[in-house]
Structure 1
Amino acid sequence: MVVKKILIAILVFAGLAIVAGVGLVVLSRPEATVPIEQTFGPDPVLVEPKAEWIPSVNIAEATPWPQGAMPTSPEGLVVNEYAEGLEHPRWLHVLPNGDVLVAESNAPPKPDEGFSVRALFMGLFQARAGAETKSANRISLLRDADGDGVAETKTPFLGGLNSPFGMTLLKGKLYVANADAIVAFPYAEGATEITVAPEKIVDLPSGRNHHWTKDIIASLDGTKLYATVGSNSNIGENGMEEEKGRAAIHEIDLASRQMRQFASGLRNPNGLSWQPDSGQLWVVVNERDEIGPDLVPDYMTSVQDGAFYGWPYSWYGQHVDDRVEPQNQELVAVAIKPDYALGPHTASLGLTFNTGDLFGPEMKGGAFIGQHGSWNRIPRSGYKVIFVPFTAGRPSGPPRDILTGFLSAEGKALGRPVGVAIARDGALLVADDVGNKVWRVAPHVN
């Protein structure tokens, strides 16, 4: 095993050259063969897996937006800068009075895990992609008092958190998902700061934190919370003991503080959202790596109580991942195919349904999705915000680009969209963690 690791390391460093501006050049970088538009929808094109000895790396280096530059919106929509000067803004929550909470956050410190090829490349990716920024561990409040679509004030609202991400307000309490626990704070409408100590609700699986983000949402009747927990690995290579309670959505009963696994086999779920027509819980999921640039598509899916969605044993339903040993044929046999593919390696993280009227009846009830962008695909995928129409509670058409232009002509990442939220006036808000901004998208008014 030691000899194998040494040989792999020699191959890695022999074939690896860091090239300024564009990314990384490796011995073998297979290019996608399936047009990206064919990898979206309920029945995406799925090719044969191609195992990668060395991860295909195509990193977009993080570079600040030039003065006055912004993403591109399609005809009929207009984008503006809602807020700037944030520190790695990841997630958004809109309060009833219209104030916007933004989690300024990044991964918690990771323990030394020793050498691995994947860890080597992920470290290089994080450094160049701007993902090694120290976590501010803060939630800030943005207020647009005059309703002109620009936040005039930015106020530190909550500090001393532990890589906060998901937020939800319920019955006078603000619940926050840290990397290791859900905590709660009393909230009074219009407050611009909370200084009281947190109340712990439940612990969440943490530790190695391969995927650290935890999203939360309240049940429609206000009695429960649902929380996402991503996997601790790509395909369980650290052992399934490390994955207890991971790659799952958990249900927390607020009266008893009891937590149970609601759904599993979801490699990295985020973006919990209630579909307004069906009342069904939906989520977006980041799928596995290292079986080629065309696999596996990230996806969004409705979440069924007790359902298993494949990870790590199979992908996109019951396609067995031969790299996983030992296999679990019983679980593969019941693995559920996701509802809608979102393209391979797009790193789809944000999901919110359009519950307002601002975008017109043809977009009502549809899904806005923030795609953070690939690190290991040629050509790059994601780096955009898309919209998927829904009819009668189900996806009903191809995706539509809402925000693009996050990649420069030179291939650098000027921004990377993450969380998406509907503002009180119905506009779309987008957290940009590389650009350190929040963007606002709305229909153009003549």
Structure 2
Amino acid sequence: MDLMGKATELVGAAMVALRRKDSPEKQAVGTSPAIPKAREQGIMTLKMPTAAGWAAGQKPVAAAGLQVNAFASGLQHPRWIEVLPNGDVLVAEALQSDRKPRSLMDHAMIATMRRAKAVGISANRVSLWRDKDGDGVAEHREVFVEKQNQPFGMALVGDTFYLGNTDGIVAFGYDHATGKLVGNGKKLVDFKPGGHWTRSLIASSDGKRIYAGVGSQSNIGDEGLEAEEGRAAIWELDIETGKARVFAGGLRNPVGLAWEPVTNALWTVVNERDGLGDETPPDYLTSVKDGGFYGWPYCYWGQTVDDRVPQNAGLVASAVQPDYALGGHTASLGLCWMPEGTLPGFGAGMVIGQHGSWNRSILSGYRLIFVPFANGKPSGPPRDILSGFLSPDEKQSYGRPVGVAVGPDGKSLLMADDVGDVIWRVSAA
């Protein structure tokens, strides 16, 4: 880091120290969260732990009644997981591309992200892992597909495999007999790359549609709303006609997607905007309505206006309030539905991989959590499934949770850890 970047980092560290005393004691969590009044930060709080990785024999802390082991290791920034019907586990290995800074603050941000192993050279592949003997550890590893453009979301529908690259959805033929892809793939939908680069995918239960999460280019439309066209949205692709449309908008960075089986509603976890305080606004878990608008960039948590943004009164009035707050800056990314009976002591609900904050004076996230559901809605406070990803002084991260999926046996969870380069498996103790 040069002297200018170092000076910016020191100023940022001083601001973090000043803001710690004003950080709310309780996080904004649940269906009726207490969200502190916005306090524009000016110089944004910038705090991110150094990526340390796991020492030999070290692993996350599992909740009572559970155990955790490494299902797969030696990956290169694993982000997302897809479990195929035959039990094969696919892992998207990708990373945000490094770039030249555009401002003094950007210089400090990129330097910090490099230290946290959040930017670099992307593997741009999907690897396949197979646990042949069923002992919870994969013995077989192979490249499933490579030379992609920051691959992330995956979905298998019949004999077609869909892959969410940062610049669009690609379809490949899939041979069920060999478990391998056929052909070079065909792009079906174009997305603008960059910014929030992840493109999660999920298929409808009838296999007729694919849904994709496309995050914003910027924090609050900083580069103009033209740059945000088609972004901050969940897209729907009609497989038969090939037509794609925005299904729901105003979602700053919708990443994980999951179906809730009682109501058959689509749910997502969304990363909210930065620069308004440690707990303002909270990231959230919400059902997604066709045609719904969820506020970004004009407002948050319903009609709470962000006065940093030129306003659109009509859209603010139409903004849908999310279902469930997850706390400020948790970077909730991974999401899957966990049926009752998967893990002892946990009922049916949503499992969420919280990657962890950077715009917060006291770090948040860095956990794998469970939100219980009843009658199609969240029904209680979140509970930890895995913790222990941060050092006690918050200076190091041993790992960072991302994608999560129910394991092939239906009695375990798999979680991608992109700092530890591990897929963790959680099961009954």
- Which TM-score tier does this pair reach, normalised by the shorter chain? over 0.9
Return the letter of the residue paired with 1:394. Answer: K
Give matches, 1:51-70, under 5 Å: 51-70=40-59
Q: CA deviation at 1:259?
A: 0.8
Kept in 1, the 8 Å contact 2:52–2:397? The answer is yes
Partner of 2:202: 217
SS at match of 1:169: strand
Give matches, 1:9-408, under 5 Å: 14=7, 16-17=9-10, 25-27=13-15, 29-31=18-20, 33-36=23-26, 38-108=27-97, 110=99, 114-115=102-103, 117=105, 119-189=106-176, 191=178, 193-194=180-181, 196-206=183-193, 209-325=194-310, 327-355=311-339, 357-360=341-344, 363-408=346-391
Kept in 2, the 8 Å contact 1:88–1:133? The answer is no
Q: CA deviation at 1:195?
A: 6.1
Mapped partners of 1:324, 1:390: distance in 2 = 35
SS at match of 2:38: coil
Mapped partners of 1:157, 1:215: distance in 2 = 18
Q: Deviations over 1:229-251 (max 9, x none)?
A: 10010000110000000000111
SS at match of 1:81: strand
Q: CA deviation at 1:55?
A: 1.1
Deviates more, 1:380-389 or 1:270-279: 270-279
Kept in 2, the 8 Å contact 1:276–1:365? The answer is no
SS at match of 2:246: strand
Q: CA deviation at 1:185?
A: 1.2
Mapped partners of 1:298, 1:120: distance in 2 = 25
Mapped partners of 2:328, 2:63: distance in 1 = 23
Give RMSD over aligned pairs: 2.0
Q: Deviations over 1:92-127 (max 9, x none)?
A: 0000011100000112465x573252x233212311
Mapped partners of 1:14, 1:431: distance in 2 = 35
Q: CA deviation at 1:34?
A: 2.2
Return the letter of the residue paired with 1:101. Answer: L
Q: 1:221 to 1:350 in 2, by over 3 A?
A: same
What 5-or-longer segments of structure 2 have no aligned partner? none
- TM-score if structure 2 supplies the norm length? 0.95
Q: CA deviation at 1:220?
A: 1.4
Kept in 1, the 8 Å contact 2:353–2:403? The answer is yes
Mapped partners of 2:328, 2:279: distance in 1 = 6
Aligned residues: 424
Kept in 1, the 8 Å contact 2:8–2:104? The answer is no
SS at match of 2:51: coil
Q: CA deviation at 1:199?
A: 1.4
1:418 is aligned to 2:402: yes
Q: Deviations over 1:104-160 (max 9, x none)?
A: 0112465x573252x233212311110123110000001001111111112111111
Mapped partners of 1:425, 1:243: distance in 2 = 41
Return the letter of the residue paired with 1:170. Answer: V
Mapped partners of 1:178, 1:106: distance in 2 = 12
Kept in 2, the 8 Å contact 1:373–1:380? The answer is yes
Kept in 1, the 8 Å contact 2:174–2:182? The answer is no
Q: CA deviation at 1:194?
A: 3.2
Kept in 1, the 8 Å contact 2:97–2:119? The answer is no
Mapped partners of 2:145, 2:417: distance in 1 = 20
- TM-score if structure 1 supplies the norm length? 0.91
Percent of counterpart pairs with the same letter?
49
Q: CA deviation at 1:424?
A: 1.9
Q: 1:75 to 1:202 in 2, by over 3 A?
A: same
Partner of 1:21: none
Q: CA deviation at 1:16?
A: 3.3
Q: 1:356 to 1:135 in 2, by over 3 A?
A: farther
Mapped partners of 1:380, 1:107: distance in 2 = 21
Mapped partners of 1:11, 1:134: distance in 2 = 25
Return the letter of the residue paired with 1:352. Answer: C
Mapped partners of 1:181, 1:306: distance in 2 = 21
1:430 is aligned to 2:409: no
